[in-house]
């Protein structure tokens, strides 16, 4: 595994980081708790020392699973990345969505990052994770009802108390990052990026490169689409959010699979799967520090981690880049 420092911090995390959203079940059509725990343990065994989670993933379930999985691992050998600012138990801030919890009950989710809410959320996360500090604490989504300085003053307090080591953001644009920086040093921004979703390259990537902020790319496999395993007649499980997304409609699936067919020979040359090739390409992109990869079971987790073993030549990277640019 390769390990990369976040921003100007001394926090090193694995270039392939375990993304624990699907582990929480919520929006992914349920989860098997034991499989998820085994997936995290198996990825740790092959060098994936960093796990990204959030309270909203399964309304606490994902964080509990992460806490369970890291029991018995020396705490300084694993990096826990979690988030704050999405409440399903408090109707305050910006309304985000109607949803259902893992028991099928209706919930309303709000984006809220008020000071007292962050302090409360941190305590809950620490309990669920079974730890006394979080390595990277990230706001999950921008919240328009709370001044940015209020939000990051709260995070700053948590850092002073030793409950948080470093601060990051998710889904922030360059302007929002610059505003947050006035209050607190940020080390990273976690944003969606994939071969078929490259909007951040316009403004956010250049800002992060210029200001030495790391980018944690989430959904680098475009929620499974870039594995090549999704066909136009794919049947999604009940409760799987992907069924309604534009990227999972037959026309886009077909177009994506044509792109994947063109890069498949490169994967085959390296005895690698398409998913592994896509992950390796992602962390070779300018400004991208880390790729977050989710897994439902131990085998998937190990396969994701092995993406690091691929060594792409300049010619191969250019071939892929050209195909992606033409997409």
Q: Exposed, middle or buried by CB within 10 Å (0-12, 13-18, 19+), for 260?
A: buried
In angstroms, rounded to a whole number, what is the distance separating the alpha carbons of residues 60 and 52?
Answer: 13
Catalytic residue among 44, 57, 172, 218: 57
β pairing state of 106-111 and 94-100: antiparallel
Beta strands in 151-231 (DSSP E): 164-170, 186-192, 214-218
In the numeric block, the tokens 């959010």 are attached to 241
What single DSSP character describes residue 236?
A: P
Distance, in Å, from the CA atom of 300 to the CA atom of 20, rounded to the nearest integer, reads: 13
Which residues are CB-neighbours of 248 under 8 A, at least 6 positions away? 223, 225, 230, 234, 236, 242
Beta strands in the chain, from DSSP E residues, in sequence order: 3-5, 12-14, 16-19, 50-52, 79-84, 86-87, 94-100, 106-111, 134-139, 164-170, 186-192, 214-218, 288-293
Question: What is the rounded CA–CA span in Å between residue 139 and residue 182?
Answer: 16
φ, ψ of residue 7 to 5 degrees: the values are 50, -135
> Cα separation of 254 and 249, whole Å?
9
Q: Look up 57 and say whether it is catalytic.
A: yes
Residues labelled as active-site residues: 57
């Amino acid at each position: 595994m390769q390990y990369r420092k976040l921003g100007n911090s001394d926090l090193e995390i694995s270039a392939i980081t375990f993304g624990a959203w699907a582990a929480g079940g919520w929006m992914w059509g349920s989860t098997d708790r034991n499989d998820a725990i085994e997936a995290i343990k198996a990825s740790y065994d092959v060098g994936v020392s960093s796990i990204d989670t959030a309270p909203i993933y399964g309304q606490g379930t994902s964080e509990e699973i992460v806490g369970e999985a890291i029991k018995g691992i020396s705490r300084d050998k694993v990096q826990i990345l979690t988030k704050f600012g999405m409440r399903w138990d408090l109707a305050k801030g910006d309304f985000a969505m109607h949803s259902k919890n893992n028991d099928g009950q209706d919930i309303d989710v709000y984006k809220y990052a008020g000071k007292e809410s962050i302090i409360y959320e941190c305590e809950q996360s620490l309990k669920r994770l079974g730890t006394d500090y979080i390595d990277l604490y990230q706001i999950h989504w921008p919240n328009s009802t709370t001044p940015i300085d209020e939000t990051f003053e709260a995070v700053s307090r948590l850092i002073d108390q030793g409950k948080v080591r470093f601060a990051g953001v998710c889904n922030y644009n360059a302007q929002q990052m610059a505003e947050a920086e006035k209050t607190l040093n940020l080390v990273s921004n976690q944003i969606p990026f994939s071969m078929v979703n490259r909007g951040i390259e316009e403004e956010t990537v250049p800002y992060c490169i210029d200001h030495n902020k790391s980018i944690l790319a989430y959904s680098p496999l475009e929620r499974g689409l870039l594995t090549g395993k999704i066909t136009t007649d794919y049947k999604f499980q009940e409760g799987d959010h992907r069924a309604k997304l534009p990227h999972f409609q037959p026309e886009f699936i077909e177009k994506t699979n044509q792109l994947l067919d063109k890069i498949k020979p490169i994967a085959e040359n390296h005895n690698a799967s398409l998913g592994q090739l896509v992950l390796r390409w992602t962390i070779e992109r300018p400004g991208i520090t880390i790729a977050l990869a989710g897994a439902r079971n131990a085998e998937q987790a190990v396969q994701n981690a092995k993406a690091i073993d691929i060594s792409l030549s300049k010619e191969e990277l250019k071939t892929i880049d050209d195909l992606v640019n033409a997409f």
